A and B are shown apart, each in its own frame.
Chain A
Amino acid sequence: MNREISLERFAAIVDAYGASPMRWPADERGAAEALLAFSADARALLDEARMLDGVLAAAPVEVPSDALVARLMAARPRPATPVPAGKPRSIFRELISAIWPYGSPAIPAGALAASIMLGIALGSVSEIAVLNGSQIAAASGESEADERLIALALADIDWPEEWIQ
């Protein structure tokens, strides 16, 4: 149903939305078009608005670049990797998976083995040895001061309670 609109309201419509009825408010479009049919003033307002629309239509238009499309396609979501349906896992693999649920158990196992081997190799080639207090004193010239220092370091000390807490 088309309700009538005043010339003043028609002027406000074309002032805001321009000359194309497609842009006019849907609930007033019919009434505005009806007014045009018999109002020369309405048609003059429409011509004025059409002129500005014509200028605005000259605004530049560029299609999206191929580079943009390529970037977006490269960043698109990917399908989730399906879990291969194979033979059921062994108890050993289940156990490893329970201990290390983050992926291949070869990773932590390999790292552990490598660190053990490195430790053994370093221990066998270095001159570092485990010495007791008296051996250390002998190695460092058996000075009394050294002995006192070592004795102090190795002594069982009753640490004040507040240090421990």
Chain B
Amino acid sequence: MQEASDDELVAAVARGDGQACAVLMQRHLGRIVALARRMMGNQADAEEVAQEVFLRVWTNAEKWEPGRAQFGTWLHRVAANLCLDRLRRQRNTVDIDEMPDLVSGDPAPDQRLEADELAARVEAALQQLPERQRAAIALSHYQGLSNIETAEILEVSVEAVESLLSRGRRQLRTLLATEKDGLLRSRETSA
């Protein structure tokens, strides 16, 4: 079962094979949760999206046509669209006071807290990007999808993906300038 292709696993899922469900989740659930986490900015929403994605797999497994599309790419497309839908719905309800603060906060006393602080700041910076820039960075940079796959998922041209990525990274560079300088300093110190 571990060696089975995604298409074979989906066919087994449609027959009600529990082991196939487990292997398919083992193979893809972590990546889908990670994508949704980058898009939504928190684990609870990310898991809700991932749950919806896999429930669609369970429901539509019988209709899956082997060889028509890469299963992993299809999962990313469903997840990205669900995230964009949710973000659109949330757009008018977000309280600006609840946005994470990027510039305040004293340096944490120990390394663990520093790492957590940095992680929170990076996540907060990602959340400040426009949704489609964030989606492009999540798919290309974090998920490692090719520019062609990212373009297919976002239904734009490869050139448009490149533009989304450039603008997103430029904004992140500005938002995370302090963190970047800190990283540079720590490298110089350790060198």
Contacts and interface: CB of A to CB of B under 8 A. Distances in A.
Interface residues on B, range: 35 or more
Nearest to A71: B51
A160 interface: no
Interface residues of A, number: 34
B113 interface: no
B18 A59 contact: no
Interface of A: 12, 15-18, 22-23, 25-26, 51-56, 58-65, 68-69, 71-73, 75-80
A49 to B, nearest CB: 8
A77 B142 CA distance: 31
A68 B184 CA distance: 38
B115 interface: yes
B21 A58 contact: no
A58 B162 contact: no
B14 interface: yes
Interface of B: 13-18, 21-22, 25, 29-30, 33-34, 37-38, 43, 47, 50-51, 54-55, 58, 61, 115, 118-120, 122-123, 126, 140-142, 144, 146-147, 158, 162-163, 165-166, 169-170, 172-173, 176, 179-180, 183-184
A59 B144 contact: no
Contacts of A68: 29, 33, 47, 50-51
A16 B141 CA distance: 9
B13 A54 contact: no
A32 to B, nearest CB: 13
30 contacts: A15-B169, A15-B170, A17-B147, A23-B141, A51-B183, A51-B184, A52-B173, A55-B122, A55-B183, A56-B142, A59-B38, A59-B119, A59-B122, A60-B37, A60-B122, A62-B33, A63-B33, A64-B47, A65-B43, A65-B47, A71-B51, A72-B25, A72-B58, A75-B58, A76-B58, A77-B13, A77-B15, A77-B16, A77-B21, A77-B61
A22 B144 CA distance: 8
Given A61-B34, A77-B61, A15 B166 contact: yes
A55 B180 contact: yes
Contacts of B144: 22-23
B37 A62 contact: yes
Given A62-B33, A64-B30, A73 B50 contact: no
